[in-house]
Structure 1
Amino acid sequence: MSAGSIDPVLALVNEVRFAFQPLINVKTGAIVAVEALARPTGGDVHDLFREAARHRKLTELDIELARAAITAAADHETLLPLHLNIFGGTVTHDLPRLQLVLDRLREVGRREQEVTLEIGPPFARLDPVQLVEGVQSLKSDGFQIAVDGVGDGDVPLTLIADMEPGMVKLDRGVVSGLPDSAPRRAVLESVRHLCEAANADLVAEGVENDRQLSALRRTGVRLVQGNLLAPAARRPPTTITVPGVAAEVTDPSGQPVNTLAAGPRVTEFLSPATLLSVDATADKVRGVLADHPEISGVVLVDEHNRPQFTIDRNRFLLAVTGPYGHALHAKRPASRLADEPRMVTTATTAMEALSLVTRSDQYRMYDDAIVVDEAGRCLGAVRAGHLIRGMADLKVEEAAALNPLTRLPGSDAIARDVGRRIAAGDVFAVSWLDIDGFKSVNDSVGFSAGDDLIRTIGRVLTDAATSLTSVTVGHVGGDDFLLVADLDDLVPLSELLLDPEREAGGVRVTLSLATLVCTQSTVSTYDEVSRMLAPLKQDAKALTGSSWVMSRPGSEHVDVLRGKPQSQQPPPSFPGPATPPPGFAPGSGPPPPAGPGGSADPSAMHFPTEDPDPDLPQARSQAPRR
């Protein structure tokens, strides 16, 4: 490479070839976009950038590569949305030159709305205000924006929030550590929560094996990119075969895919829409459908990308290929053979969209639903078949996750609800309910009585979730239940559970309830909540009678709202030897270990006779009534 001028450096763009790697929705198996990746014929693309940087022409090279990628994609006549890589420094320091990218798009007949600019690092030395202003300018030009390299580079999370991208791409360095690395799992969870709060799609890059894909699906990631599903290729693919692991109803680990409590949003089934101008002729539409047999229809949009009509492939081709069809329609507007679009928003759930589909006229039952943003601009299409299969799979997952005794969902329902509340910034409480000495109940009165007791608790929890609207309940196995609720519902919930006297086969039974009050600033994942609840549950079980303890993350203060320490109870009366086994208390099971980190250390526990924490619900005598 010559070091004499930048012209030879830019000339090398002509020697760069492009490969195209798809972004795939693993829920539907659909390709949602393709990313153009520069592949120099000799050396590495980083060598090219280093040489350009040495000549202080890095932004020029960056823009020329983007223009060349547009041309390469046009040569293959792909209709899929296109992703182009752009440095953050190019947006910050050379924004006017990006007009050349717009010019090239117009030359090849592509819309800006079909192109996503992946803004990538380095960001450390950039003026964040100038970068955000540049991104807003690109959005106003019609471009979609993604932030690349998140999780393993110098991408500040506050910058992502300020840029408000439509997509965030998780770096392959994070994905490579899944599922074994706990820190990388935590990074994934944090980025996922950020994307939920920012209403941005999360894409995982560099998926190389089934275990990585399984971990991503368990976390709720639906958009992936990597060699496992489709390596980069010279020609943009139009369809792929998703490996069985991505198509399974249930993940190999047995854990259902994470979705919102109200069901997945329609955007989880989003596919690219084929857009044409509202004044396109029937002959133009026929040509597009003939050249691209994989597309199911066309959306006719106005100059602002707002859907005006939709064209179903089968009905349209029947009309234009029938007797005299070409002569009647070819040169006339295709809108004459179109239908009113069935539109939904990004906030629409898949179940709501499915209801819209099933309420349609019979002949439109399988037409696509069009997803639009707040301004009414087209974001893509959702195929009716994908919706039907997806919701059927979801119902199978939900049924498989129900406990056979109580018909309550498992911990996945709690995990989803906790994740949703954290993302929304809510203040909420997670409680662990346990039957004291349940093994001894089974041993003394039999499994049937134990099962009846579990069913009774399940019915009480079902009634509680019905009458207290903020409550979510789950049966995590055995005699363990998890509950999530707003703070206002904690006291009535505890009364429903702990007030009645309970028995199994004539044996009195008590319950232990441990509650952790959570906020977005104190917990970030469901795993954290689970770890913090474990020692709190031991504090509750160290008490006698039906008990309730409460605390906050990071606090050593444990409020005892029900129950008494074992030292305050008279010793039980045992047949046989006068002295009971050391540490035994009726109904409490084995005594918990002494010391911190899960012990029943009385010095850390605060009983109702002490000054209460004013922010927490108090003992029943002090608690407000609903």
Structure 2
Amino acid sequence: MGAALPGFPEDFTSYEAALPSSAAVVSALLPEDDSKTLAQLHKIIGHRLLTARFQPIIQMHTGEILGYEGLIRGPSDSPLHSPVNLFKAASEHNLTVTVEHLCRRIVLEQFAALELPGKLFLNVSPESLLQRDVKHGETLDYIHDIGINPARVIIELTEYQPTHDYALLCEAVVHYRRMGFEIAIDDLGEGFSSLRLWSELKPEYVKIDMHFIQGIDNDPVKMQFVRSIQGIAEKSGTKVVAEGIETQAELIAIRDLGVACGQGYHIAKPHPNPARAVSAEVAKILSANSIYQRRPAGSFEQLATIEKILKTPPTINSSMLNNQVDDLFLRDPRLQIIPVVDDGIPVGLIHRYHMIDRFARPYQRELYGRKPCKVFMDPYPIIVDKNTSMQDVSHIIVEANPDHLINGIIITDQGRYLGLGTGPDLMREITQMQINAARYANPLTQLPGNVPINEHIDQLLQKRQTFCACYCDLDHFKPFNDVYGYRRGDDIIQMTSEVLKKHCDTQLDFIGHIGGDDFIILFQSADWEARCHGILNGFANAIQEFYSNEDRERGGYISEDRQGKKVFYPLISLSLGVVRSRLSQHYSHHQISIAASEAKKQAKKIHGNSLFVDRRMDDEPRVA
């Protein structure tokens, strides 16, 4: 006989027989609406009027189905059809554990009947797991009888209320693991104590709450949260499941972060008879295995906090005498600012030059030397929390008083003194962040710049991903600037970037702005050549709007060359030079760049909008 499992399904065969007398007694004590709800609950339990739905959970790196989460639905014609309403009503009538038991039994039965592959994620509340006052069924025997190996069942702990007895919960988890079950924690980041549960239980899987997944492609804070969870999981041997993936962009962001598993409507909706494989669309996205992670404009400034420049100079309390403070400055010539802190709470700052200036005046030392230092301190310093972004701190200083750049910024942790930041350090960091941001995103087009371009090429090569590098360059662009002005030239650069975006699959293809009028596309789309022709046609149509009617009609314009001679220049055209990545030849972005540049030079030899594809490793090179 199998061991008794706390909180798993009990025998419901005698429940219906006991229903009439118990229901009648309880119903008589309840309002009419509550009475109807209770009667519906008893009917659902007695007649087992629940059906299971299964939602696939996939392995992101392969696209294969790891298993299914077992979900439940009430009768379709009942207000209790929704699981939210069902469990709310069960809780109100003290039937939560009973309903949970029935739900799990029905999920197990239908999972076995469908002969679904992989694992079954079975929802269990810690409250139910710890129940010791219910009749325990011989669950292991039951699971074996319906043909499910316990090693295929993952107990997914879902918190409906706070967990208090961690020791008892750990004991229960150990009990189930000995029988072959695995453990998962649901809604990480949302529950009452999910992070502590992770630490205490050391589960095989953690499921990140959908709040942190939805919109992650445009939210650097959510991206950082998931990245941090992924880092912890890798060190603790836990697999992360991102649930609530509802868009293609979210799926790509999760894939690029290296999250192990995914679940959500974009992959597959819950269904009574779910698919055994992912759709062709999802498989295509996962097989592309793109590495590039979009860096939203301004993300560097937003993510860097004032804590980065924190320093910890000596502090004093407000009762210290001015003569004593002056001695501190005299003993340490490098000491510029002293924070004044009383019982861990910052109350002001004393600046070296302010004190020297005061004591240099006639009779000031005699008058104030033996008085508390608070008479010389700045009682209104800038005080910010350690998590405040540097960009926000700079705005605070400008709006308050720029003199605070000299006086310094007090940094706190939940209101208590932590340290000090100086104005020069703040300005140095902000300047460096702006430089870094410019390296990652071109300020004119906001497309990735040279650093992410090179990183992306190298990572594609390391991952042994095939791609086509397309070098895009404008012909006769510089003389256009001389005639029409640089502002109009910038407009053409922006127009070109929009044409490239329009004709690329942004979920598969990478577009970068090398600088000036040079762009690069790293195609992973199978129809890349057709997309190149679309780019050329789109550019040819769009460029017409940038010329006067006269220049359009004659197909060009007259400008002076460097020697002062009048020269006729044709309308700006676009040259595309394409080279295929070859694992046997290309090992770094340097080689790809050289090969793509050579292809671009060949394209520029062709009049007008042109495409040159280097096919030396396939057939003879040809132009299109």
Q: Answer with 1 or 2: which has the greater Rg.
A: 2
In terms of fraction of residues, the more helix-rich structure is 2
Q: TM-score, normalised by structure 2?
A: 0.40
Q: TM-score, normalised by structure 1?
A: 0.40
